[in-house]
Structure formats: structure tokens, C-alpha cells
Amino acid sequence: MKQKARFENKVVIVTGAAQGIGEGVATAIAAEGGKVILADRNLLVRDVAKRINDNNGQAHAVLADLETWEGALGVANSTLEIYGKIDISIHNVGGTIWAKPYQEYTPDEIMAEVNRSLFPSLWSCRAVLPTMISQQSGVIVNISSIATRSIHRIPYAASKGGVNAMTMSLAMEHADNNIRINAIATGGTEAPPRQIPRNPQPLSEQEKIWYQAIIDQTVSSSLMKRYGTIQEQINAILFLASDEASYITGTILPVGGGDMGMG
């Protein structure tokens, strides 16, 4: 049976597409007929685009620092220059840099976490909305986390709580423009080691203990008592991005084996 091409002729931005969930989402959308803009500040994103094109997909890589307004706007403008429209925008940039009790974070580390996990979604939504309003159509999927209720990553949790609030409020604000805006709250996810780690410094023995506590709490909080797979996250993201979710907006969908996180 031929796979259903849910994204045939759709122009789709995927941020954080150089590795992990973002790479998987971009590859899967291209396999279902989507024209994909892969945005990342990591040069590896060019390799992902090449693999997609070599497999008869349509992909363009755009290098951008999505922690900045200029970076997010550049991605939106590049998409319009190449394809003339933006149907779907999936905002995947973010991730815990440090894992430790809140009182152990320095002020600079707190700012770095917020810049990493809140602002890329804020800027990216702001960059694509004018086009979607003009089109009177569009879909945004923000990638959040069940870590809004967790330990040893408070700045990250606060950032993802902000993503959730933004998602729900924007959905209310732009439903009249025929724009659907949702988020996936990812749970613990098994993934290969990042080729470019968020924190390049080796962990101290104490930091290893703090990080293990996150893993233990995540598994304990999941009703299914396990981490999910990257594919399980991709499946949920593709559903919300597709027309199959045409009557869903303003929703934070937890994909954490029963751990609901917090809004």
C-alpha cells in the first residue's frame, strides 16, 4: 500500500533540523511530499538536506542562529524567496544545557538556557506569522517538553512553560486567520549522542549524579516507565502538522508515556 503523502506540495520550515528529532521530522516530511526548509546554525544541516535531495526529496538548508530575531527572520525570508509561501513551521530548537539544582545555576547560565529554549520559538513564530496572516492559512507546531514539571532543569522548564503559554495564546489570537498553532510536549527520548553537544564540557562526578536524577525522575513519572523513541516523537509532530489535525488548535500534546507535564 502506498504511503499517504500528507505534505504533498506543502512548504514546511523545520528548525533545529541538523540532528535528532528535527532531522527526523524534516526527513519524514520530505518523504511525504513536503518541500522542506531545514534551519540550523550547525553546518551538519547541509548534509541532511543533501541526503533528502539524494533520495528524491526537496530540501534547502538555511544556516541561522535562531536565538536571534535576525536569524528567525532570515529563515522566513529565505523560505519566501525559494518557495513563495509558508504552509507549516515546526520549531524544534531547544534543550537543556546544564542539569543541576536551580541554586547551582549562575545568572549567565540561566540566561543561556532561556535564550536556547524559549527565544527560538518566540522569534520563529513572530517571523512566520505575517506571511500566514496574509495567506489566511498556516500551521505552527512548537516543540515543548513535559519538563515543565521536573527537577534539575528549572530554567529549561520555565522556558518550555513559556512556549506552552505562547502556543495557547497565539492559537486564540489567530484562529480567525485560519492558522492552527499547537505544541508537542516531548517526554524523555532515546537518542544517539549529539554530534555537537549542547554542553561541550565533560561532566563532573556531581553533575553526573544530578543528571542521573533527571533520568530516574523522568522514567518514574512516566506511566509506561520508559523513555520514548525519536520516531514516537516524530509521529506526533507529523500528526499535528498535517491536515489530519485540522480541528485541533491551542493544544499542548504530551508525548511522554503518560507523564502529562504541566501547562
pLDDT in tens, 65-88: 999 999 999 999 999 999 999 999
Q: At which residue does the C-alpha cell 541532511 appear? A: 48
Per the CB < 8 A criterion, the answer to whether 127 and 68 are in contact is no
Tens digit of each residue's pLDDT (9 = 90 or more) over 133-188: 999 999 999 999 999 999 999 999 999 999 999 999 999 999 999 999 999 999 99
* Residue entry with cell 531547544: 94
- Report the domain count for the chain: 1
26, 51 contact by CB (below 8 A): no
Question: How many CB atoms are closer than 10 A to CB 232?
Answer: 16
Query: Please, are residues 38 and 49 in contact by the beta-carbon 8 Å criterion?
Result: yes
Residue 201: pLDDT band with limits 50, 70, 90: confident
Total residue length of the chain: 263
What counts of helices (H) and strands (E) characterise the chain?
A: 8, 9
Q: Is residue 246 part of a domain?
A: yes
**262 falls within a domain:** no
In a domain, 6, yes or no: no
Mean pLDDT of the residues in the chain: 95
CATH of the domain at 160: 3.40.50.720
| C-alpha cell belonging to residue 20 | 535528532
Of 23, 27, 28, 24, which is closest to residue 4 (Cα–Cα)?
Answer: 28
Range of the domain at 177: 11-255
Question: What span, in angstroms and rounded, lies between the C-alpha atoms of 213 and 152?
Answer: 8
Q: Take residue 16 and report the three cell numbers written for it.
A: 533545529
Q: What is the mean pLDDT of residues 203-207?
A: 94
Q: Give the residue carrying C-alpha cell 564540557.
A: 201
Residue 261 belongs to a domain: no
CA–CA separation, 52 vs 171, rounded Å? 31
* Catalytic residue status for 156: yes
Alpha-carbon distance of 30 to 39, in angstroms, equals 14
Q: List the catalytic residue out of 156, 211, 227, 247.
A: 156
Q: Is residue 3 part of a domain?
A: no
State whether residue 38 is helix, strand or coil: strand
Q: Is residue 119 part of a domain?
A: yes
Residue 199 included in any domain:
yes
Residue 205 lies in a domain: yes
